[in-house]
Amino acid sequence: MTTRTRSFADIRTALLAREEVALVDVREEAPFAEAHPLFAANIPLSKLELEVFSRIPRRDTAITLYDNGEGLAHIAFERLSSLGYSDVKLLEGGLQGWRDAGGELFIDVNVPSKAFGELVEHHRHTPSLAAEDVKQLLDSKADVVVLDARRFDEYQTMSIPTGVSVPGAELVLRARELAPDPKTRIIVNCAGRTRSIIGTQSLVNAGLPNPISALRNGTIGWLLAGQTLDHGQARRFPVVSDKTLETARADARKVADSARVKRATRADLQAWQTDSKRTTYLFDVRTPEEFEAGHLPGARSTPGGQLVQETDHYASVRGARIALVDDDGVRANMSASWLAQLGWEVFVIDDLKPRDFTETGPWNAPAPTPWQVEEISAETLRQWQQHGGVAVLDFTASANYVKQHIPGAWWTLRADLSNALRKIPAAERYVLTCGSSKLARLAAPEVEALTGKPVFLLNDGTASWVAAGFELETGETHLASPRIDRYRRPYEGTDAPREAMQAYLDWEFGLVEQLGRDGTHGFYVI
């Protein structure tokens, strides 16, 4: 009989041999963030069918599932098998088995990238300035530009005064345009440390002549220094001139070559896409707006800075092949230079022409054939609620639920459904919703099986209720499940406690030592 488990030693051996490894933690994000192996990918059981096809595209990938004794991994095993995955096993002993075998455990999310960022600073002594020094420069009207390397929505939530949004992969392409005078000091910030270290080092590696520094500890450091952040800003990078583009392209190519990035053609890519023995990820590292205007068939939109920050989320098979594309020769090369140092086999597709970018619109995750459920309109649901006997279950992200939801709707975690239904008063019929109805649809057969009552789907989800202009409720009014679907980052929002921010920085400082103890990372720094 074939064993249904893999051991810590099996996983470690495969990682060191650079074989493809998909070690999947099927718990929700908050418990995942409390303890997990370095290269574990978090694909919660609640959303498994919506995420797994894009994150583990090859059906015969060696997948190892684990939880921490909750029984989720066994359910995930059955679901993946029914989706056609043929090499699925459980981690021997689960998370505790990993710990007992001497495996290193990490906290937080996107740990490989954050640990790598600390390793870069450790080896390269990436220049940085304290928040107090940066504020003094700004107050004295010094010749300084502040470039914010985070996503635009993060920048809008809170930003350094005068800061301009230039997400990570855009920095080498845009910085010369924003600081044409080589005497202008460039300061790169993020929320904590990683993206400012990587962004600053990108500009240093690319050979910009300006004095360049990271804002030490990002917006966290700024707040800990007792300084005030801006909110709701919208300063974005400008279009670059042909001369700037030409210079940036040469700089980026030099950095990619130094990092041993591999080159490939469109023909190579087509051959890889039919290769049944190796996983290939195709990522477009331009902005989402550029992607939607035209992209390669089969490409996923992954703006480069976020791809480097969240590689474990986008490429959940460690040891897979990654192919990057852009239309300028800068962003793919710079993103690839970091992925190569992060231990990936990464290629830039070099021979693309404008005519290759034939698909338009946003990226849509591949998903299984949707379960057929009878749908009702927002108007019908409203009428049903007025007559009673109906329970509304909302499967959206808890943060979205708190922001706004249908009055009386119960927030429910799909993986916690049987427990949640014990807290929800029994009803004659159940209506399921989420933001779009995709996740709610997956839960329909489970709700039907557990309740024995008719189950309906709100057509187009809560968005249709909002569009109809019906009343909404806010706050944690009806929580049927614990809010563990998302780990609250200590740098998020505008109300993070000082102790949490300081503890987060202390944790980041200790990551290099943890990497050494783990011994499987395969990172190098150019």
How far is 365 from 408, CA to CA, in rounded Å?
Answer: 31
120 is a domain residue:
yes
Where does the pLDDT of residue 502 fall: very low under 50, low under 70, confident under 90, or very high at 90 and above? confident
What confidence tens digit (pLDDT) does each residue in 96-144 have?
999 999 999 999 999 999 999 999 999 999 999 999 999 999 999 999 9
Share of the chain above pLDDT 90, in %: 92
Residue 1 has pLDDT above 60, yes or no: no
The total number of residues shown for the chain amounts to: 526
Total number of domains constituting the chain: 4
195/280 same-domain check: no
Average pLDDT over residues 166-186: 96
What confidence tens digit (pLDDT) does each residue in 412-442 have?
999 999 999 999 999 999 999 999 899 999 9
Residue 3 has pLDDT above 90, yes or no: no
Using DSSP, state whether 194 is helix, strand or coil. Answer: helix
425/459 same-domain check: yes
pLDDT mean across residues, the chain: 94
Average pLDDT over residues 219-234: 93
138/217 same-domain check: yes
Cα angle 449, 452, 458 (rounded to 5 degrees) comes to 80
508 is a domain residue:
no
Residue 51 CA to chain centroid, in angstroms? 12
Range of the domain at 310: 260-356
Tokens 């409390």 sit on residue: 34
Residue 261 has pLDDT above 90, yes or no: yes
The pLDDT assigned to 489 comes to: 73
220/301 same-domain check: no
Q: Which DSSP string do the residues of 336-389 spell out, in sequence order?
A: HHHHHHTT-EEEEE----GGG--B-S------PPPPP--EE-HHHHHHHHHH--
Where does the pLDDT of residue 498 fall: very low under 50, low under 70, confident under 90, or very high at 90 and above? confident
- CB neighbour class for 361 (10 Å; exposed up to 12, middle 13-18, buried from 19): exposed
The pLDDT assigned to 347 comes to: 98
300/408 same-domain check: no
269/333 same-domain check: yes
Can you name the residues that pair with 65 across neighbouring β-strands? 24, 90
Q: What are the backbone angles phi and psi of residue 469, rounded to the nearest 5°? A: 80, 15
Question: Strands 321-325 and 345-349, how do they pair?
Answer: parallel
12/101 same-domain check: yes
Containing H/E element for 265?
none
- What is the CATH number for 324? 3.40.250.10
Residue 338 has pLDDT above 60, yes or no: yes
How far is 2 from 385, CA to CA, in rounded Å?
Answer: 52
| Beta carbons of 342 and 320 less than 8 angstroms apart | no
The pLDDT assigned to 428 comes to: 97
459 is a domain residue:
yes
Beta strands in 420-496 (DSSP E): 429-433, 455-458
Where does the pLDDT of residue 304 fall: very low under 50, low under 70, confident under 90, or very high at 90 and above? confident
The pLDDT assigned to 492 comes to: 62
Residue 288 has pLDDT above 90, yes or no: yes
The CA-to-CA distance between both ends of the chain, in Å, stands at 47
Residue 299 has pLDDT above 60, yes or no: yes
Identify the domain boundary among 44, 75, 109.
109
What confidence tens digit (pLDDT) does each residue in 373-424 have?
999 999 999 999 999 999 999 999 999 999 999 999 999 999 999 999 999 9
The pLDDT assigned to 421 comes to: 97
| Beta carbons of 349 and 269 less than 8 angstroms apart | yes
The pLDDT assigned to 490 comes to: 67
298 is a domain residue:
yes
Average pLDDT over residues 289-295: 97
Residue 496 has pLDDT above 70, yes or no: no
Residue 494 has pLDDT above 60, yes or no: no
Identify the domain boundary among 48, 75, 109.
109
304 is a domain residue:
yes
